[in-house]
Structure formats: C-alpha cells, structure tokens
Amino acid sequence: QQQVKQSPQSLIVQKGGISIINCAYENTAFDYFPWYQQFPGKGPALLIAIRPDVSEKKEGRFTISFNKSAKQFSLHIMDSQPGDSATYFCAAKYSGAGSYQLTFGKGTKLSVIP
C-alpha cells in the first residue's frame, strides 16, 4: 500500500518559471512532512519540512503548501534555475514515541531548461 502518492513523475520547466510537485497521503497519523532533493550520485538532502499546524512554509525560493483536510501538500519552486534540476521526494512521518520511519513518495525528476 503506497501511503504517499507523488506527482508528476517528471517535470520540465523553463528557467525562471514555477515548479510545482504534489503529494497526497492516506495516514492521518502523519504529522511531519519533509521534502528531499537528490542530485545524481548523491544521497537525498533535506530541503524543507512542515507540520500540519501551518498551511504554508517558505524558505527562500522553496515553499510548502499544506492542506490538512484534503491530505495534500505540495512543493513550489519559484524562479526555477538549472541548478534546481534534481529528483525531489516528498515524505511523511508519524512523530510518536518509537516511530522513526519515513514513508517516501516515488519521486519527481525536475529538469529546468535555460
């Protein structure tokens, strides 16, 4: 059972445009939602994360929008740059005691073209 569904699988955006990646989750116990960025040959790196008590979090050009009622969250990359070309993974986690496992989406390969 896939608990975090991510779309699109791939995305091509012009330089300066907005990249939008969407995720939906099923488990209402999830209470921590990070996004990871992975470049080829590297491990995933934490980009930005949000808890469900806020609807939006912004860090530089990266914004997470969160819709608790719809059980959806999305990553927006403003003014996309070629250096943003990477694979992006959304994830979800339950923060209860003894819980450590992240559930990942299937990833979105972003290509930003000049």
Partner 1 sequence: SAVISQKPSRDICQRGTSLTIQCQVDSQVTMMFWYRQQPGQSLTLIATANQGSEATYESGFVIDKFPISRPNLTFSTLTVSNMSPEDSSIYLCSVSRGGVIGTEAFFGQGTRLTVV
Residue from 43, 60, 83, 114 touching partner 1 (CB under 8 A): that is: 43
**Which residues from 65-104 bind partner 1, rule CB under 8 A?**
89, 93, 95, 100-102, 104
| Exposure of 32 in the CB half-sphere (CA atoms within 13 A) | 11
- Interface with partner 1, residue 60, by CB under 8 A: no
Instruction: Report the residue count for the chain.
Output: 114
| Amino acid in the structure at residue 96 | G
Decide whether 10 or 14 has the Cβ nearer to partner 1.
Answer: 10
- d(C-alpha 103, C-alpha 114), whole Å: 33
- d(C-alpha 50, C-alpha 63), whole Å: 10
- d(C-alpha 103, C-alpha 20), whole Å: 20
- Interface with partner 1, residue 50, by CB under 8 A: yes
Which one of 18-26, 36-44, 62-70, 74-82 is the stretch in contact with partner 1 (CB under 8 A)? 36-44
- In the complex, minimum distance from the CB of residue 46 to partner 1, in angstroms, rounded to a whole number: 5
Residue from 1, 42, 69, 70 touching partner 1 (CB under 8 A): that is: 42
Compute how many other C-beta atoms are within 10 angstroms of the C-beta atom of residue 82. Answer: 10
What is the binding site for partner 1 (CB under 8 A)? 31-32, 34, 41-46, 49-51, 89, 93, 95, 100-102, 104-107
